Structures are given as structure tokens and as C-alpha cells.
């Protein structure tokens, strides 16, 4: 196939997408989001789109480059995902990764077959052409392989860039057309020279500049919020986490008193958190918060309930009832602000569009927060300024606009709160026990400087009792489980190897200071097979 390319059209400076952008076409890879994150680490904006995105749609977006992700299929399988063949003639640099490289080869007339030997895990990469894609990438560097198919014949105009012991065509290029392919995964941390390769593609081949910064995002977000909302009122359900707190700051900067923050205290927060949240926002940041004390209502809804899914449902349904009542009391509102993040956008197609305005409308609060769905007759248009960001980017934005570190670095906390860290029935007594134990955990990991080394660290209360001896007397009390994990994104996690001295201190304090507990254990289960939360 002879490549004939068209020149991309000039972009209008008024176009919202006038930023430089790299598009990732997703073919079902578990690493597509990671590719986007790696691109953004170069301070260049990236988006993940379906492989079904047409060449015309891409032409309208006018990205500076396109990356084809890996995927679980073989290109020669019936029904295997293929991209629009016209993509190759757009005149935009393209990098195919693993399956993406094989698809490029197949569609442009080369050959792909099942390899005699698959290649999985670390492999030494030997560079045959150290220019362009491999500038400053060390020969013999380690790259991460995961493939059972291999390229057996290059398309016309392509040449070999690198190989491994098992894969003769580990990297290829059509330099004139700016089409590149790599059989390995440069985006994973195991690929030592991977980020250098990505930077070469972004900066040297696609000629991007590092313009995707927190300052640029804040400026654009404020402008877009003002243009969208106008003089209308916006309601935000504040949780105290980094997402909703950053969102509150951003909205308040954009529209001031048009924003109403509502904090529903369902009684399942950690010790002192509701009071601390209100003090921070109202006294220190001068952002008014409508406080709704619904503790008794939520606790009554969970009376006698032990099934974890039923607990979640009841917490969610009660949240909706309270939210509906209070929004009507405080309203009317035209917009509901949600802390939707980019992974939520990628993973969820559960959106609804107003047929008259084309606006997304909320028929539910994100299941990510486990609080259920809004009634269909309670309609808001959505304003979601964080929907372009990953979690680490939200933290950077929050820090840049003045959020304190205690919020910016706050560990993830489930929507139902301590209700799902108490196994079995939730009672006032058990909540008090867990709050006291949890406070000790937080105090000690902060004291020794481990808080920011951990993805999450918390206590779980089990609904059983065991025998102990305290003060020469027999006790029959609850055990507390400590759950400390490390992770990058929460999708997978490993139990944290914290010092024994730290565990000993926490255990001694909990047993001595928390009435009703006589045993402390440590969870050494990774995710998978376990989950981070116990329920």
C-alpha cells in the first residue's frame, strides 16, 4: 500500500480544543489510561478514544499525534477490532503499541502471525536505528513484552528499528510517513527506557510543546465554567475529599456566591472530620457550606442490616432522599457540580443528554461514590470541570489553587464511610469504637511520616469477639484489623511492609485506649485476590 497523506487543516484559535493533543485509540488494552498518563507527564494533553473513532472525527480534533493501544485480540481473528483505514493517510504521526503495531502492519500490507515463542515480561531491547524514536534510549535497555503474535513481514516503506532475542521486529518505522510501531509496552514502569521513547514521540516526532500545566488548566476551567453557567446557580455535594474540595475551590473562584456547597453528615465520617471540614471551608477559605445533620436518619436505616450490599444500597437511597429534600429547600438550582474524573469518563458510558439542549443531565450521582441515583424527576444539568483530569492531576490543581495538604493528600475514603468498615450491623457503639481506633491509626502513621507513603491506611472492626486477658481479668472483646496498602491508582494494590515497631505502637495504643477492643491483626492480602475495603 502506497501512503498518500493529506495536510491537517489549520485550527481556529477560538476552538476549545486549540491545545496541543495526543489521541490514544483504545483497542481494549488494560494500559490505555496509563499511556494517557505518561503523555500528560510530558505536559502535553492526551485523550483516550474508542478505536471506532473515524478518520474524519480525528481530522476535526486535529491531534498532533495518535497512539494505537495494545489489546487482547489477534489482528487475524474474525471480528478483531480495526481502525478506520483512512487514519493512515491523515498526515498525523502515529505510534502503534503491541496490538497497535500489528494492526498497522496488517492494514498496510505486511504480515502478522502467531509466534513460535511468545514473549512476556522483561526483555533486553537491541537498537538498530538510534535516531528519532530511540534518541537517547540506551541500547540493551529493558522493555516490557506481552505478546503471542509477531510481525513476520514489513509493509512497503518500513524499516527495522530494534529487536530482542525472541522478536526480530520489536520496533519499526516508516520515517517519511511518520508511522512507528513498537512490540513492547513503553508506558509501563518496567520499561526502563519507555518514558524517554514516549518523550521522543511527543516532542521530536509530533513537535508538541509542554503546555498542559495546572495553571493553564485552571485558567481554561474558570473560563469554561463562567461561559457555561452564566448567572445560574450551582449545587455541589461536598464530601471533604480532594475531588469535591478542589471542585468547590475552582467553582467558587469562577462564580462566587452562585455556588452552594451542601455537606450531608450521615454519621459515618471519621472522628472530628465534619467539624474540621466546616471550619476549614467557612472560617479559613470563606466558602459557605450548608451543613445537614442526618446522622440519626442514616443509623436508623441500617438497624439490623448485616449484608454489605444492602448497607450500601440503604446508605445510597437515604443520601438521595436527604439530597432531594435539601436541594428543594435551598434551591432552585440549574446545575449540579460533580467531581467526575477522567477514568470515570473513560470507563462509564452512563450519561444522559437533554434532547433539547444537548447538555448532559444528572439522573444519578456517580456510582463511584456509592451513593446511588438521583430520582429521574430531579433534573440538573451537569458541570464537571475535573472530567479531563486524573487523580494525581486533581491533587496538583488543588495544591495550586490553595487547598491545604491535609485535603490534597487525603487518602481515598468510601462514600458509605465507616459503615462498610464495620462488618455486620452498624451501631453507635461500634462506630465510636472504630472512630477511636481509626484516629490512632492516622495519628501514628502521620507521626512516623508514613501517611504519604501509603495509598490507604485504616482500621476495620469485626463483628466477633475473642478472649483476652487485661489486668489479670478475662476479657471478651472485638478484634480490629489494620489494612495498609500501597498502590498507584487503586486498581491493584499490595499490602504495605511497614515497620513492626509502628504496628506494635498502634496495636498497644488501640488495646489500651479503645474500650471494647482486645486484639489487633494486620491484613497481608494484596488486590487481587482481595479488595482494599473489606466490604
Cα(151)–Cα(148) distance, integer angstroms = 11
Known catalytic residue at 98: yes
Grid coordinates representing 490 are: 487503586
Q: What are phi and psi of 236, to 5 degrees?
A: -130, 125
Q: Which of 33, 119, 169, 185 is catalytic?
A: 185
Query: 3-state SS of the chain: helix, strand, coil percent to 5?
Result: 35, 25, 40
Distances (CA, A) of 70 to 82, 283, 483: 12, 50, 34
Contact at 8 Å (CB) between 457 and 445?
yes
Grid coordinates representing 109 are: 500490507
Distances (CA, A) of 411 to 21, 240, 327, 416, 485: 31, 11, 28, 15, 11
Among residues 291, 266, 295, the alpha carbon closest in space to that of 279 is found at: 291
Q: Which of 33, 119, 187, 393 is catalytic?
A: 187
Known catalytic residue at 206: no
What secondary structure does DSSP assign to 107-144, as a single string?
HTT-EEEEEEEEEEEEEEEEES--SGGGTTPPTTEEEE
Q: Collect all residues with Cβ–Cβ distance below 8 Å to 486 and sequence separation of at least 6.
A: 453, 454, 455, 493, 494, 495, 496
Site of grid cell 498502634 = 506
Q: Which of 83, 98, 169, 261 is catalytic?
A: 98
What are the residue numbers of the active site? 98, 185, 187
Amino acid at each position: 500500500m502506497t501512503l498518500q497523506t493529506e495536510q491537517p487543516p489549520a485550527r481556529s484559535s477560538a476552538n476549545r480544543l486549540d491545545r496541543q493533543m495526543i489521541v490514544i485509540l483504545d483497542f481494549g488494552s488494560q494500559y490505555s489510561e496509563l499511556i494517557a498518563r505518561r503523555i500528560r507527564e510530558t505536559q502535553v494533553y492526551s485523550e483516550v478514544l474508542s478505536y471506532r473513532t473515524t478518520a474524519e472525527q480525528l481530522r476535526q480534533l486535529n491531534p498532533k499525534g495518535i497512539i494505537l493501544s495494545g489489546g487482547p485480540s489477534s489482528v487475524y481473528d474474525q471480528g478483531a477490532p480495526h481502525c478506520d483505514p483512512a487514519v493512515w493517510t491523515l498526515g498525523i504521526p502515529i505510534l502503534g503499541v503491541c496490538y497497535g503495531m500489528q494492526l498497522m502492519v496488517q492494514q498496510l500490507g505486511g504480515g502478522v502471525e502467531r509466534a513460535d515463542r511468545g514473549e512476556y515480561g522483561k526483555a533486553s531491547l537491541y537498537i538498530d536505528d538510534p535516531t528519532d524514536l530511540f534518541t537517547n534510549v540506551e541500547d540493551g535497555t529493558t522493555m516490557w513484552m506481552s505478546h503471542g503474535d509477531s510481525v513476520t513481514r514489513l509493509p512497503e516503506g518500513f524499516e527495522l528499528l530494534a529487536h530482542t532475542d525472541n522478536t526480530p521486529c520489536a520496533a519499526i518505522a516508516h520515517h517519511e510517513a511518520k508511522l512507528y510501531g513498537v512490540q513492547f509496552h513503553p508506558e509501563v514502569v518496567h520499561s526502563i527506557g519507555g518514558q524517554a521513547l514516549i518523550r521522543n514521540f511527543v516532542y521530536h516526532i509530533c513537535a508538541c510543546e509542554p503546555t498542559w500545566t495546572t495553571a493553564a488548566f485552571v485558567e481554561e476551567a474558570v473560563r469554561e465554567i463562567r461561559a457555561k453557567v452564566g448567572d445560574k446557580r450551582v449545587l455541589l455535594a461536598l464530601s471533604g475529599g480532594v475531588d469535591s474540595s478542589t471542585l468547590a475551590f475552582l467553582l467558587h473562584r469562577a462564580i462566587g456566591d452562585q455556588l452552594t456547597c451542601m455537606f450531608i453528615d450521615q454519621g459515618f465520617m471519621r472522628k472530628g472530620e465534619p467539624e474540621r471540614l466546616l471550619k476549614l471551608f467557612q472560617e479559613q477559605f470563606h466558602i459557605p457550606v450548608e451543613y445537614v445533620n442526618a446522622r440519626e436518619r442514616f443509623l436508623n436505616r441500617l438497624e439490623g442490616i448485616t449484608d454489605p450490599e444492602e448497607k450500601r444500597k440503604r446508605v445510597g437511597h437515604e443520601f438521595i432522599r436527604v439530597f432531594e429534600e435539601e436541594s428543594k429547600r435551598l434551591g432552585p438550582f440549574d446545575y449540579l457540580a460533580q467531581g467526575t474524573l477522567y477514568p470515570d469518563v473513560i470507563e462509564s458510558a452512563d450519561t444522559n443528554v437533554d434532547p433539547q439542549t444537548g447538555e448532559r443531565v444528572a439522573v444519578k450521582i456517580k456510582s463511584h461514590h456509592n451513593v446511588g441515583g438521583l430520582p429521574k424527576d430531579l433534573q440538573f444539568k451537569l458541570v464537571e470541570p475535573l472530567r479531563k483530569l486524573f487523580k494525581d492531576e486533581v491533587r496538583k490543581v488543588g495544591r495550586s489553587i490553595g487547598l491545604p495538604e491535609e485535603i490534597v493528600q487525603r487518602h481515598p475514603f468510601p462514600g458509605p464511610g465507616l459503615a462498610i468498615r464495620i462488618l455486620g450491623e452498624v451501631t453507635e457503639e461500634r462506630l465510636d469504637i472504630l472512630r477511636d481506633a481509626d484516629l490512632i491509626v492516622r495519628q501514628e502513621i502521620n507521626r512516623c511520616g508514613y501517611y504519604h507513603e501509603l495509598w490507604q491506611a485504616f482500621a476495620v472492626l469485626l463483628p466477633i469477639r475473642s478472649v483476652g486477658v487485661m489486668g489479670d481479668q478475662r476479657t471478651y472483646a472485638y478484634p480490629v484489623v489494620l489494612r495498609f496498602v500501597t498502590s498507584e491508582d487503586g486498581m491493584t494494590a499490595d499490602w504495605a511492609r511497614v515497620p513492626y515497631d509502628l504496628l506494635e505502637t498502634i496495636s498497644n495504643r488501640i488495646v489500651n485506649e479503645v474500650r471494647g477492643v482486645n486484639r489487633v491483626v494486620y491484613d497481608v492480602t494484596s488486590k487481587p485476590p482481595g479488595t482494599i475495603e473489606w466490604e
